[in-house]
Amino acid sequence: MRALGTIGGGVAHADPASDLPTVLLALNAKFHISKGRATRVVLANKFFIGLYETALKEDELLVGIEVEAEARGTGSAYAKLENPASRYAMVGAAASVTIVNGVCTAASVAVGGLTTHAWRSKRVPSALLETALDAEAISKAAKKVMKELPDDLLGDMHASADYRRAMSQVFVERALTAAAARAKK
């Protein structure tokens, strides 16, 4: 019986409902991959490529994951709608924001659980730049995720594709709100 898992093994498995791919994508992680003595580095936005599929080749091993320490004025958070039985994400959202002189200067948002693999939003972060990251700005930006969602969302007996679509905005907003609060401390 399997009693333990590793972060690397979980990430290499690339389950669309797993929390770590979404979080590592939002944090711009770097994946160190080895084939014998040769190594290469793959950025998170190039690592997760499909349903249970990563940039790892059959003869390669994930040997390290690098995440930079948060700079002053940066906060991050993860929020999810979890399956009541498994606790896996039916919708997961990870956010990282940086505030300098009261305004957002950098943002990253990733979403998982409702598509074949975690993906990074482009519209939400761009809507946050140069705002004060107040409730209104966050809510307005979170709505942008709806325009990025593909038509073929995952759905099951626990949450339909339409429900997951509606919840994506809610959980992006929750992650952003928590990340902004941490950045302001």
Which domains, ranges and CATH numbers included, belong to the chain?
7-66 (3.30.465.10), 74-183 (3.30.390.50)
Q: Tell me the pTM.
A: 0.93
Q: Is the pLDDT of residue 3 over 80?
A: no
> What are 5-55's pLDDT values in tens digits?
689 988 999 999 999 999 999 999 999 999 999 999 999 999 999 999 999
DSSP string, 88-155: -EEEEEEEEEEEETTEEEEEEEEEESSSSS-EE-SHHHHHHTTS---HHHHHHHHGGGGGT--S----
pLDDT tens-digit series, residues 103-142: 999 999 999 999 999 999 999 999 999 999 999 999 999 9
Q: Tokens 């928590």 sit at which residue?
A: 178
